[in-house]
Structure 1
Amino acid sequence: MLVRDSVLIFGRRVLTRETKPVRRREFISLVGGAAASPILSAVNLRAQQTAMTRVGIVTIQSPTSAPYAAFRQRLGELGYIEGQNLTLDFVNPIRQSEGGAGAVQELIRRKVDIVLAIYQATMAAVVAAAPSIPVVMVAVDYDPLALGYIKSLAQPATEVTGLYLQQIDLAKKRVELLTQALPDVHAATVFWDAASEDQWKATASAAPEFALQLADVQLLDQPYDYEKALAQVPPDFRSVVVFPASPVFYRDRERLAEFAVRHKIATEFAFREWVDAGGLFSYGVNFAAMFRRAAEFVDMIAKGSKPGNLPVEQPTKFELVVNLKTAKAIGIAISPSILVRADAVIE
């Protein structure tokens, strides 16, 4: 039935339009729908916020180690809660029959959304087996540009982004600091492995400029036998040992600190965590800070950013950390000029 609407104009009623009356049920439906609209929007927003993000991590380190603690903390600050909207899948390649490749296959089986790649082997395996999975890298012992994992730092143009530290560029500075910290030392040894071979070569290349003679020992089979390695070193080269950045050396940092103190060896490392564990001194980036930034890359990708459009970042701040407690334990004196320049001194 149609109802004619009318209005009074100068005392006369004028018909305006014909309308269909709204039934009570339709009226309730319309009002209810309007009221429900913001509620549904809020529900949809909450669903987006609580969608599970699954991050896969291949590592030989403990999931509770300092870098991953920093990674978790930053994700928490960004609103992620494990078990609610975040899953961190840690896979140890040593426990996989096919090593790093097997670990990546396990992450693929678990259907991870993003891979946090620390090792070059992880990166290679992901690119080969699942090139469509976004990767956030923390590349500290390989060059993603030279290996073709990204097209450029400014525009990766692949499914890979994150952070890249050129360790070989720091090799010369570390040799210089070593000769300044221990001016009476003219011979040292570098322990290196497959992951740190490029760093060893860069260190060997820089040493002559600072009148430093070097011996070297390559560590091959895990667990590394540091006692056997030291026995291979000529006696005149045993007082100082340099450890480049390596996943295994990092994992063994407490063991290496005890080894060095027991043999009265001065040690130089790439990251502060070694010095916190008892190493003598280090020069490098704040490793935990890199992982905090990696968490922010994960967040951006989880919210829809394409890895290929996110520029790869390089750390610009480096810290010198000295452990005076260790210096006293092995009976050496660190040059005052180094102590003045140190960003942190552990006493």
Structure 2
Amino acid sequence: MKRREFIAATAALLLSPAVAQEIRRRIGLLFVNELPPAWQSAWLDGLRNHDWVEGKNLTFEYRFARSQDRLPAMAAELVAVGADVLMAGNPQAAVALKSATASVPIVFVGVADPIRIGLVNNLARPGGNITGLATFVPGQFISKQIEILRELVPTVSKIAVVANPGNAIHKFVLAEELPQAAGKLGLNFVIVEAATAEELDTAFAAAAAQQPDAIVPFGDPLTLRNAPQVAALAAKHRLPAIYLSREFATPAGLISYGPDYPDLFRRAGGYVDKILKGNKPSELPVEQPTKYELVINLKAAKELGLTVPPTLLARADDVIE
């Protein structure tokens, strides 16, 4: 074969669809904690549903900060490695990535109010380089959780809330949504704060000292990472608790009600697919959950001397015996 023919044949091969398919796109992922196995599996399934497979046409760059103060440096690292798409698994990570780049596309998952914390302009047309999946409709969710808790504990009048002062969304909920819920439902709230695992013990003890009827640990990377500890503390102080996800109720927690997180992570694969195929994040609407999960732990209820109403059991997606 002549040299010119060889070069032409090689060029044709490189441009063929089969070879182009093997070109690996790079996804940079920023989290505070490792994903629970069910969430990770759903994320990979969501990508495979669109023919994106790690090791075939995708390469992942994971960063797990463990603490919030490490997020900005890790966000900068992911931008520097040349990721085609960046993904954030919680509000703090999303804010860090948005601060690190105004050009690389970003997909977030697990952000309760992306407008209030400055990630997007509005849900329908996010603007900028970021879009994704919100966890719930602001202004309504806490009231819904508390209504469910009151079905289980009808006499509840004072509720303790565990919030993370480093979570911007918690600040908005405490300042706006909680007072609205107090007026609407006729309740008093006791606020305690924890930013570290060690502070969780102190926060629960401080809450218990004020003799609430129940407790609501807000969803956060801190409480998720320490879910067994959080559930154990609620049991130790004999406080009925409602949590945001099944990761709390499955080991020992009383009840959880929140978005189906695996479903959100599965749907995130569709966002990544669209962006890798040329869609702009600014034109992809922020979506909200379509599935919510109610999980009830009957063993935990029995230990607290609570009887779960049949109407609540009938609505449960999962009942732990």
The TM-score, its normalising length taken from structure 2, stands at 0.86
Map of 1:83 onto structure 2: 55
Tell whether the 8 Å contact from 1:214 to 1:237 is kept in structure 2 after alignment: no
Aligned counterpart for 1:174 among listed residues 145, 148, 166: 145
Specify the SS of the correspondent of 1:128: helix
Aligned counterpart for 1:211 among listed residues 171, 186, 189: 186
Map of 1:102 onto structure 2: 73
Map of 1:122 onto structure 2: 93
Deviations 1:31-86 (A, max 9, x none): xx9xx79x947962123322212211221222453322211222233323322322
User: How much has 1:126 moved relative to structure 2?
Assistant: 2.6
- How many Å separate the matches in 2 of 1:64 and 1:184? 34
What letter is aligned with 2:300? T
Deviations 1:199-244 (A, max 9, x none): 3342343024323222110113x23432211222254634521012
Residue range with higher mean Cα deviation, 259-268 or 132-141 = 259-268
> What do you get for the CA RMSD once the two structures are aligned?
2.7
Residue range with higher mean Cα deviation, 293-302 or 309-318 = 309-318
- How many Å separate the matches in 2 of 1:64 and 1:334? 28
Tell me the matched-pair count.
312
Deviations 1:130-171 (A, max 9, x none): 210100111424x32234432332222321111123354201
Specify the SS of the correspondent of 2:241: strand
Tell whether the 8 Å contact from 2:152 to 2:306 is kept in structure 1 after alignment: no
Distance of aligned partners of 1:68 and 1:329 in 2 relative to their CA distance in 1, 3 Å threshold? same
Map of 1:193 onto structure 2: 164
- How many Å separate the matches in 1 of 2:16 and 2:36? 34
Distance of aligned partners of 1:315 and 1:75 in 2 relative to their CA distance in 1, 3 Å threshold? same
- How many Å separate the matches in 1 of 2:32 and 2:287? 24
User: How much has 1:291 moved relative to structure 2?
Assistant: 0.5
Distance of aligned partners of 1:132 and 1:152 in 2 relative to their CA distance in 1, 3 Å threshold? same
Map of 2:131 onto structure 1: 161
User: How much has 1:289 moved relative to structure 2?
Assistant: 0.4
- How many Å separate the matches in 1 of 2:316 and 2:36? 28
Aligned counterpart for 1:247 among listed residues 221, 226, 230: 221
Map of 2:263 onto structure 1: 289
Equivalent residue runs for 1:1-347 within 5 Å: 40=12, 44-63=16-35, 65-94=37-66, 99-141=70-112, 143-165=113-135, 166-194=137-165, 195=167, 196-201=170-175, 202-220=177-195, 222-233=196-207, 235=209, 237-347=211-321
User: How much has 1:95 moved relative to structure 2?
Assistant: 6.5
Identity of aligned residues (%): 30
Specify the SS of the correspondent of 2:128: coil
Deviations 1:272-327 (A, max 9, x none): 22222321112221011000001111111112222122222112432322111221
- How many Å separate the matches in 2 of 1:250 and 1:157? 30
Specify the SS of the correspondent of 1:87: strand
- How many Å separate the matches in 2 of 1:273 and 1:167? 22
The TM-score, its normalising length taken from structure 1, stands at 0.80
Distance of aligned partners of 1:278 and 1:162 in 2 relative to their CA distance in 1, 3 Å threshold? same
Specify the SS of the correspondent of 1:233: helix
User: How much has 1:189 moved relative to structure 2?
Assistant: 0.8
- How many Å separate the matches in 2 of 1:95 and 1:251? 11
Specify the SS of the correspondent of 2:285: coil
Tell whether the 8 Å contact from 2:98 to 2:130 is kept in structure 1 after alignment: no
